[in-house]
Amino acid sequence: MLVRSEPFTEVNRLAQQLFGAPSTGTWSRPTAMPADAYRNGDEFVIVFDLPGVDKDAIDIDIERNVLTVRAERRPIDLGEQAQAALTERPFGVFSRQMLLGEALDTDRIDATYQNGVLALRIPIAEKAKPRKITVGGHAEQEHKVLDS
């Protein structure tokens, strides 16, 4: 259903966790966003954490089964008098690409955004769903024709 296509994203994420340095993503070097993916019945669900991101700052594209999600979180305007005492929340550009399998109906993706969580629901394609094949009586007649 899903193929991980960004090996360096995982390396960057681990480095951020190990060294504790929040990075500021740019359009040319975006920061990875955390995601979960799972199958739920006849749909595949991918959930992204994007706290503090405005809904209008989220861009979702799909091209040749490659899903790209980009978002931008801008720093809060603290005013001229404010002096930062602690700054751990990352800001900037976040991006994630995922290669979706052929078993998904990428023409019918549904996206919702609530409480800083972007959820994409992708139906399983009809051709990929299990189906019953019934055995008919025509095979015996075809067999007789072939033996003649």
**100 has which bridge partners?**
2
pLDDT at 136 over 80: yes
pLDDT at 46: 97
Tell me which residue has tokens 């480095």. Answer: 15
What would the pLDDT profile of 78-128 be if each residue is shown by its tens digit?
888 888 888 777 788 889 999 998 889 999 999 999 999 999 999 998 777
Share of the chain above pLDDT 90, in %: 40
pTM: 0.69
CA 64 to chain centre: 14
For 117-146, what is the mean pLDDT?
A: 78
- 3-class secondary-structure state, position 1: coil
pLDDT at 143 over 60: no
Check: CB of residue 33 under 8 Å from CB of residue 48.
yes
DSSP code for 30 = P
